[in-house]
Chain A
Amino acid sequence: MVVDGLDLDVPTGEIVGLIGANGAGKTTTVECIQGLRKPDTGQLRVLGFDPVTQAEQLRPLVGSQLQHSALPDRLRVAEALDLFSTARARDGGELLEQFGLTPRRRSAFSSLSGGERQRLFLILALLNRPRLVILDELTQGLDPAARRNVWAAIRQLNDEGTTVLLVTHEMDEAEALCDRVAVMRAGQVIDAGAPADLVERHASTAVIRFSLPDPPAQLLDQVRRLDGVREVSRSGARVTVRGHRRIVAFVCAALVRCEQVPSDLAIYQPGLEDALLGLLDGDQGEQPGRPASAAVTSGHSELIGGRQ
């Protein structure tokens, strides 16, 4: 079973991220949400509709950018917009302009670069004013400037009230965009919450390194006694301090007080990637069952984009 007992609740107007290792079941989950795959058991409601039996009503309300899909090779960009435009469609020209594809409007799909194809898929996902947008590997293949552009568009879309479900391997993307993130492993949600909360729970250790050839003894004592410091080690002139994220400010303050300002001060603050690694590495034997929220292929169901 690829997805089992998954519980995912995506409230209206939020950007929710789905992250996890390869093969965790993320894409299967979004395929079930879109009605492209039928769950063996369980219940699933998306915007109040069953994605399998009420696909005709649901699909016009959902915009999606799928992994492993394409357009006909000889279809031109402007023709793709024409093909996918319904009566609710936004102005395709504006979207092409926004995502920098206006000069390529007469180009065949096969001649587009990977990044241009991604942008076109995003345009098609947003074209018909969806209430829910599902984005699977949103910025794969995009250069940094294009990624920022796409992020800004997603934020704008969310500001307009659209709910976004984002499947990603890019943790900086999840941190930058998502209100909440659900972490999947082996077909189940093993934890969920705001990115900062996940980091706090699973990757709270910050590391500070600096070199002082002859550090005053009182400085190291002070640092050791700071609230949240777990370890202070020294190797020659190199000092390493580990502890809770909040120690960064305290340690820096202690250095300044002792008039020791090392030129090579380096601070490593853990992020969502560390939290994910911590979760995936640390929970191997545990059963999931955290207060996460939910989507389903077997087990119980929830609501995507609803008010509850």
Chain B
Amino acid sequence: MSTAVGRLVRAELRLMTRDPLVLTFVFAFPIVTMLIIGGAFGTRPDPAFDGTNPSHWYVASYLTVVIAAIGLVMLPVHLASYRERGVLRRFAAAGFPRWSFAIAQLIVGLLTTVVACALLLAVAAPVYGIPAVHDAWRVAVALPLGAVAFVSLGVLLGSLLPSARSAQAVGLLLFFPSFLLGAGGPPPHVMGSVVKQVAGPLPLTLLTNAVRAPWLGLGPATGSLIGVAVLAVVASAVAARRTAL
């Protein structure tokens, strides 16, 4: 890959493997928490989990935790750091085409998602097993749409926040409530009504519903899927404009 995008993707992938924040938050954190919480409620079908095996409920939910970690923590910190230190100016001055950096970040974000999700499933398989996918095409649509939406959100946050430290603070503040309310925390049935109302419209809740429900045979979750699609379109359009070099 000798095009500008290719060179950027190659460099960014190399750098990602050397970044402790990425290795911790994107690869280790979802796997460790999935292993802990997936074993906390046993494997017998439970009404609180819509009658499904709780371990499978969390295996189906945690792919979206990977996506959120990339979009809300990894990318904002990475991009804000680049802008703060003048790396983006250097790319611009060096003649990288206007859209090359945004496209490269999208590709890197999506590749990271694929690798981290595969790793998570590889760890889950021997421990809890991977639940059968009831509605494969909806899952296959929701996951990439969600990845595009969160990668774009991450790029957008990285372009708006003034420094790496502020991006880290804001990113973690967005990530943990989203994680607890929308994917890795208690199931909606045990949440209080107010908490459930707060959790419902969160982007990660929508994405998790759009993936988990068709995966476990709990319904099509068309509303959530449409929400994720709208988010993907809007966030990617705005992010592309904001990150043009």
Residue positions of A touching B, CB distance < 8 A: 34-36, 55-56, 59-60, 62, 64, 66, 68-72, 74-75, 79, 82-87, 124, 128
Given contacts A60-B95, A74-B18, contact A66 B11 (CB under 8 A): no
Say yes or no: A36 contacts B95, CB within 8 Å: no
Say yes or no: B86 contacts A69, CB within 8 Å: yes
Our count of residue pairs bridging A and B at CB distance below 8 angstroms stands at 62
In the complex, 10 of the A-B residue pairs with CB atoms within 8 angstroms, ordered by the A residue number, are: A55-B98, A59-B93, A62-B95, A66-B89, A66-B93, A70-B87, A79-B14, A82-B10, A83-B10, A83-B11
Given the complex, which residues of A lie within 8 Å of B82, measured CB to CB?
72
Give the interface residue-count category, chain B. 20 to 34
B245 and chain A: residue at smallest CB distance: A55
Q: Which 5 A-B pairs have the closest CB atoms?
A: A69-B86, A59-B95, A60-B95, A70-B85, A74-B18
Say yes or no: A72 contacts B89, CB within 8 Å: no
Given the complex, which residues of B lie within 8 Å of A60, measured CB to CB?
95
A82 and chain B: residue at smallest CB distance: B7
Interface residues of A, dominant DSSP: loop
Interface flags for B3-16 (1: CB within 8 Å of A; 0: not) read 01001101100110
In the assembled complex, the Cα of A83 lies from the Cα of B18 at a distance in Å of 17
In the assembled complex, the Cα of A60 lies from the Cα of B18 at a distance in Å of 30
- Taking CB atoms and an 8 Å cut-off, the chain B residues in 84-119 that contact chain A are 85-87, 89-90, 92-95, 97-98
Given contacts A56-B97, A59-B95, A86-B95, contact A74 B15 (CB under 8 A): yes
Contact among B15, B89, B97 with A75 in the assembled complex (CB-CB below 8 Å): B15
Is B46 in contact with chain A by the CB < 8 A criterion?
no
In the assembled complex, the Cα of A87 lies from the Cα of B2 at a distance in Å of 8
Given the complex, which residues of A lie within 8 Å of B97, measured CB to CB?
56
Given contacts A55-B98, A72-B82, contact A36 B93 (CB under 8 A): yes
Say yes or no: A72 contacts B94, CB within 8 Å: no
Given contacts A79-B14, A82-B11, A83-B8, contact A66 B90 (CB under 8 A): yes
A49, chain B: closest CB distance, angstroms = 12
B2 and chain A: residue at smallest CB distance: A87
A119, chain B: closest CB distance, angstroms = 15
B7 and chain A: residue at smallest CB distance: A83
Residue positions of B touching A, CB distance < 8 A: 2, 4, 7-8, 10-11, 14-15, 18-19, 82, 85-87, 89-90, 92-95, 97-98
Given the complex, which residues of B lie within 8 Å of A35, measured CB to CB?
92
Given contacts A36-B89, A83-B8, A87-B2, contact A72 B95 (CB under 8 A): no
Contact among A79, A84, A87 with B94 in the assembled complex (CB-CB below 8 Å): A84
Contact among B7, B10, B89, B98 with A69 in the assembled complex (CB-CB below 8 Å): B89
Given the complex, which residues of A lie within 8 Å of B15, measured CB to CB?
72, 74-75
Given contacts A72-B82, A75-B11, contact A59 B89 (CB under 8 A): no
B17 and chain A: residue at smallest CB distance: A74
Given the complex, which residues of B lie within 8 Å of A71, measured CB to CB?
87, 90
A201, chain B: closest CB distance, angstroms = 34
In the assembled complex, the Cα of A6 lies from the Cα of B85 at a distance in Å of 29
Say yes or no: B90 contacts A69, CB within 8 Å: yes
A56 and chain B: residue at smallest CB distance: B97
Q: Count chain A CB atoms within 10 A of each CB in B18, B85, B94 and give the residue with the most.
A: B94
In the assembled complex, the Cα of A252 lies from the Cα of B118 at a distance in Å of 85
In the assembled complex, the Cα of A68 lies from the Cα of B19 at a distance in Å of 23
B109, chain A: closest CB distance, angstroms = 16
In the assembled complex, the Cα of A140 lies from the Cα of B93 at a distance in Å of 20
Say yes or no: B86 contacts A68, CB within 8 Å: yes
Contact among B4, B7, B8, B89 with A68 in the assembled complex (CB-CB below 8 Å): B89
In the assembled complex, the Cα of A52 lies from the Cα of B135 at a distance in Å of 50
A54, chain B: closest CB distance, angstroms = 12
B85, chain A: closest CB distance, angstroms = 4
Given the complex, which residues of A lie within 8 Å of B11, measured CB to CB?
72, 75, 79, 82-83
Given the complex, which residues of A lie within 8 Å of B98, measured CB to CB?
55-56
Given the complex, which residues of B lie within 8 Å of A72, measured CB to CB?
11, 15, 82, 87
In the assembled complex, the Cα of A128 lies from the Cα of B94 at a distance in Å of 9
Given the complex, which residues of B lie within 8 Å of A56, measured CB to CB?
97-98
Q: Count chain A CB atoms within 10 A of each CB in B2, B85, B89 and give the residue with the most.
A: B89
In the assembled complex, the Cα of A75 lies from the Cα of B14 at a distance in Å of 8
A90, chain B: closest CB distance, angstroms = 14
In the assembled complex, the Cα of A71 lies from the Cα of B86 at a distance in Å of 8
B95 and chain A: residue at smallest CB distance: A59
Given the complex, which residues of A lie within 8 Å of B14, measured CB to CB?
75, 79
In the assembled complex, the Cα of A124 lies from the Cα of B90 at a distance in Å of 10
A67 and chain B: residue at smallest CB distance: B86
In the assembled complex, the Cα of A62 lies from the Cα of B90 at a distance in Å of 12
Given contacts A68-B89, A69-B90, 20 further A-B contacts (CB under 8 A): A35-B92, A36-B93, A56-B97, A56-B98, A62-B95, A66-B90, A66-B93, A68-B86, A69-B85, A69-B93, A70-B85, A70-B86, A72-B11, A72-B15, A72-B82, A74-B18, A79-B11, A79-B14, A82-B7, A82-B10
